[in-house]
Each structure stands twice: as C-alpha cells, then as structure tokens.
C-alpha cells in the first residue's frame, strides 16, 4: 500500500525550493535588465498546436507527448516545450499589433512534460526558463539573446561552458541540403541505426543529431550545411559571428548541430557544459531563430528568436560547484515560552514582531527551556525572545542575541503599541549601551 510519485516527476522539498527560488529571482532580475516581460500560458493546449509547431517528426511529438482526450473529446497535450504556447498566445492576443513595443520580448519559467526514460538530468516533468523575441530579423537580436543566455550562467559563476552555434539557412537551403545529405547517407543506409534509417527520407537532418555511436561516425564526413547557405543567410551568420567576437564571447561552430525541434532557420545554438559529473546530457540551453513559426500558427509573417534553459541542469551545475545558496528566509526571532500561562502571550508577541517586519517562529510544544534554546540555535535565530511567568507579571520580554549572548529587556506594551519603527535597530542600539 501507499502512494509513490509517478516515474520521472519531482518533489521539491524545502531544501530544494530554497535553491529554486534563488535561481528564479536572480534570473528575473537579469531578464528585467534585458527588458524581457513575463508571459504565462496554459500547461496544456490542443495537441495539434504542438504537432504543428514543434514538428510531427520530432522526437518530442512522435514519442514524448503526454497527450490524452478530455471529457469533451478534445485531443489535448501537456506542453513539452514553451515556444508553441507563447506563439499561440502572441497570435491569439494580436500582440503583433501596432500598440506593442517591437521587438516583443517574453520570458517564462515553467514546468514542461515529456514522456522520456528518466535518468540524471532527464525528467518527465522538468522546468525551463525560456525567452522568445518576436519581430526582429536583425542578427544582433540573435547575438543579444545568446549573450543573455551566457550572462545568466555567468551570473551564477558557472564556468566551463561552451557556446556552440550553427546556421540552418532558409527553407530553400534546407531543401537543397536535404537532398545532398540523402545522397551522402544512402550508401550507408544498412549501417544506420533503426531511428536514423527511418528518418533518412522523412527528416534526414535529424540523422546528424543522432546519439548512436556508429551514426555519429558516419555523419562526421557528411556535407556541411554551411556550404549551402545563400548570400543573405551567409551574411546573417557572418554578422552574428563578428558580433560575438566583438564581445569577446568564445564560440565553436558545429555544422552537424541541427536541434531536435523542427521550426528553426538560420542561427541555432546550444550551451554545453564540460562539467565532468554530467554524463551525456550536457546541453543546458538550446535555441535559435524561427522566422516561419508565427505564420505556421496562423499569425502574420513575424521573425522569432528564442531559447530554453533546462533548470534542473542549471541547479545541478550549481550543486556540483558547491555553490553557496543564500538563505532567503533567515529567522530573526524565536520565542521561548516558559510555563503554560505564556502560551497566549507568545501568539500576541509573534504577531507584533511579524507586523514589525521580522521573520518569527515560536514554541508550540511547551518543551523544557533548554530544548527550546537548542531549537532556536538550530534554526539560526538572530534573537531569542523569552516569555516566562516573571516577565508576564512585569509586562516585559527578555531578548537575547544568540551570536554574543548579550541580553536586554523590553516592555511588551511598547512593542505592541508600535513605538519602534525599526525593531532590530532599536534592539541593537540598546544592546550597545
């Protein structure tokens, strides 16, 4: 008997949520500096949106969707990624209209769902921080957005990251390249993995992305898409590279990198970690340009650029680096109660201290004073407020600063009457006397 969480789904316990809150709030600060605005879209959408948006032949749609029919016979799916929903919302809410700032820049921090084989850094419910920029074909948008992703990792002092870029050119380029790739791969057809064999004619670019060892060897000498770019795409890619160099941002080009989602064109990128504890799941951020997706989803022709960061992997990087997560809810005061008669007063005192801006915990179990002091110590309280029968009779409370052992008394009525604007400052100034 008993229940267990479903395979690949996480419980975040308080020691974890402390880390996540820190990562999220620090990320939001940086996103504000880049003027990205938060957007929140539904966790589930029409299945068709993802099938269309992400691409029918992608792993995500063909194998990993959590889809089902609801009680109204609608085919719905838990979102496997964030872009399709944001694009749908952009189109549905006509955010391309003239009253909106252009380019329009969004971010989200949200759970995603994929039916995968769970392993380290690969969950069925996981979280992405993603951004989307609509309405700019300017290659500097590609650069600024990639730099934002790099900055995010740098803001957490994460090292050993590699920015990998490539260009997929435009639709025409990929058509021509596709045939060149099929011509190259055909002689190896029988040697290819089962997945790659299936993709050879359906979506040969995905063969470049294969994780199979032998496939990897075969594609090493495949023709490079970079030799097929037209003038406009070449120029775009050259500008991106030059700007990254001007910013002293190191990158490598991998002409075999294609990305698992089908909607990209021109610049695509990944940020990989060289953290030795990471195993094979080394991509921590991935994204690129998608100039046809908005139209695909029913909107006007609108350029797009975005990325997704796997937050589980970001948190793992921080843990591996022994990152010191700050405590965000440090305890200011613990109230020790001595004797049943102080129980009610402790409630009143806790309320007054909290009104004064303090983080407060109190004794509820009427344990021996030594036990309560031990708890206060363990919780790292800055002050212990002690209410005993004597204090109650006098109308005072004893305050002890745990780090120094110094003590003072304050009148309860003064505390309750809000005579102190900044209680901590008041306590500190009295302790000094």
The contact set with ligand ATP (CB under 6 A) reads 81, 114, 116, 121-123, 126, 128, 260-261, 281, 283-286, 308, 310, 312-313
Q: Which residues of 261-296 are buried (b: 16+ CB within 10 A; e: fewer)?
A: bbbbbbbbbbbbbebeebeeeebbbbbbbbbbbbee
Tokens of 103: 């380019």
If you write DSSP's letter for every residue of 106-162 in order, what string do you get? Answer: EEEEEEEE-----BTTB-SEEEEEEEEEES---HHHHHHHHHHHHHHHHHTT--SEE
Shortest gap between Cβ of 305 and ligand ATP (angstroms)? Answer: 14
- Return d(Cα 311, Cα 309) in angstroms, integer: 6
Instruction: Give the nearer residue to ligand ATP in terms of CB position, either 254 or 426.
Output: 254
Question: Which residue is listed with tokens 């670019």?
Answer: 205
Residue nearest to ligand ATP (CB): 310
Please, are residues 222 and 192 in contact by the beta-carbon 8 Å criterion? Answer: no
Shortest gap between Cβ of 213 and ligand ATP (angstroms)? Answer: 16
Please, are residues 273 and 161 in contact by the beta-carbon 8 Å criterion? Answer: yes
Shortest gap between Cβ of 411 and ligand ATP (angstroms)? Answer: 56
Instruction: Give the nearer residue to ligand ATP in terms of CB position, either 109 or 286.
Output: 286
Shortest gap between Cβ of 327 and ligand ATP (angstroms)? Answer: 27
Tokens of 144: 């600024």
Residue 12 DSSP SS3: coil
Question: Which residue is listed with tokens 């120029």?
Answer: 235
Shortest gap between Cβ of 259 and ligand ATP (angstroms)? Answer: 6
Instruction: For 277, list phi and psi in degrees, rounded to 5.
Output: -80, 5
Instruction: Give the nearer residue to ligand ATP in terms of CB position, either 8 or 369.
Output: 8
Shortest gap between Cβ of 153 and ligand ATP (angstroms)? Answer: 12
Instruction: Give the nearer residue to ligand ATP in terms of CB position, either 123 or 427.
Output: 123
Instruction: Give the nearer residue to ligand ATP in terms of CB position, either 289 or 313.
Output: 313
Shortest gap between Cβ of 314 and ligand ATP (angstroms)? Answer: 8
C-alpha to C-alpha distances, 159 to 20, 281, 352, nearest whole angstrom: 19, 17, 46
Please, are residues 206 and 258 in contact by the beta-carbon 8 Å criterion? Answer: yes
- Return d(Cα 109, Cα 37) in angstroms, integer: 11
Shortest gap between Cβ of 277 and ligand ATP (angstroms)? Answer: 15
- Return d(Cα 373, Cα 433) in angstroms, integer: 25
Of 214, 253, 39, the residue nearest 130 (C-alpha): 39
Compute the chain's Rg from CA coordinates: 28
Instruction: Give the nearer residue to ligand ATP in terms of CB position, either 167 or 210.
Output: 210
β-pairing, 125-134 vs 304-310, is antiparallel
Instruction: Give the nearer residue to ligand ATP in terms of CB position, either 122 or 178.
Output: 122
β-pairing, 407-411 vs 396-401, is antiparallel
Shortest gap between Cβ of 271 and ligand ATP (angstroms)? Answer: 8
Instruction: Give the nearer residue to ligand ATP in terms of CB position, either 168 or 261.
Output: 261
Instruction: Give the nearer residue to ligand ATP in terms of CB position, either 115 or 416.
Output: 115
Of 198, 181, 216, 205, the residue nearest 261 (C-alpha): 205
Half-sphere exposure of 304 toward its Cβ, with a 13 Å CA cutoff? 30
Instruction: Give the nearer residue to ligand ATP in terms of CB position, either 163 or 285.
Output: 285
Shortest gap between Cβ of 294 and ligand ATP (angstroms)? Answer: 19
């Amino acid at each position: 008997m008993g229940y267990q969480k479903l395979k690949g789904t996480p419980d975040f316990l308080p020691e974890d949520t402390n880390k996540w809150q820190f990562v999220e709030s620090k990320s939001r600060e940086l996103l504000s500096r880049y003027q990205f605005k938060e957007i929140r879209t539904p966790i589930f959408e029409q299945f068709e949106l993802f099938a269309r948006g992400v691409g029918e032949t992608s792993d995500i749609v063909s194998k990993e969707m959590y889809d089902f029919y609801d009680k109204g016979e609608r085919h719905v799916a838990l979102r496997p990624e964030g872009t399709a929903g944001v694009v749908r919302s952009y189109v549905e809410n006509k955010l391309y209209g003239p009253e909106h700032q252009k380019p329009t820049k969004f971010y989200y921090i949200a759970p995603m769902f994929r039916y995968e084989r769970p392993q380290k850094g690969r969950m069925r419910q996981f979280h992405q921080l993603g951004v989307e920029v609509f309405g700019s074909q300017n290659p500097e948008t590609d650069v600024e957005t990639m730099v934002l992703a790099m900055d995010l990792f740098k803001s957490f002092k994460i090292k050993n990251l590699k920015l990998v870029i490539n260009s997929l050119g435009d639709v025409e380029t990929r058509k021509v390249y596709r045939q060149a790739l099929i011509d190259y791969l055909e002689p190896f057809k029988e040697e290819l993995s089962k997945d790659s064999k299936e993709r050879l004619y359906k979506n040969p670019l995905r063969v470049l992305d294969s994780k199979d060892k032998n496939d990897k060897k075969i594609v090493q000498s495949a023709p490079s898409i970079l030799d097929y770019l037209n003038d406009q795409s070449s120029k775009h890619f050259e500008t991106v590279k030059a700007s990254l160099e001007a910013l002293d941002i190191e990158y490598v080009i991998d002409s075999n990198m294609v990305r698992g989602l089908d909607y990209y064109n021109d610049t695509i990128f990944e940020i990989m970690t060289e953290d030795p504890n990471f195993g094979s799941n080394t991509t921590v951020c991935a994204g690129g340009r998608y100039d046809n997706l908005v139209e695909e989803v029913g909107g006007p022709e609108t350029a797009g650029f975005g990325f997704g960061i796997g937050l589980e992997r970001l948190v793992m990087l921080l843990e591996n680096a022994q990152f010191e997560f700050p405590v965000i809810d440090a305890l200011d005061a613990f109230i020790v109660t001595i004797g049943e008669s102080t129980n009610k007063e402790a409630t009143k005192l806790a309320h007054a201290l909290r009104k004064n801006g303090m983080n407060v915990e109190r004794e509820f179990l009427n344990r021996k004073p030594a036990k309560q002091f031990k708890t206060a110590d363990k919780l790292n309280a800055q002050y212990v407020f002690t209410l005993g029968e004597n204090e109650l009779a006098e109308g005072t409370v004893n305050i002890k600063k745990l780090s120094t052992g110094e003590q003072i008394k304050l009148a309860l009525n003064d505390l309750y009457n809000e005579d102190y604007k900044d209680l901590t400052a008041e306590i500190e100034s009295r302790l000094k006397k």
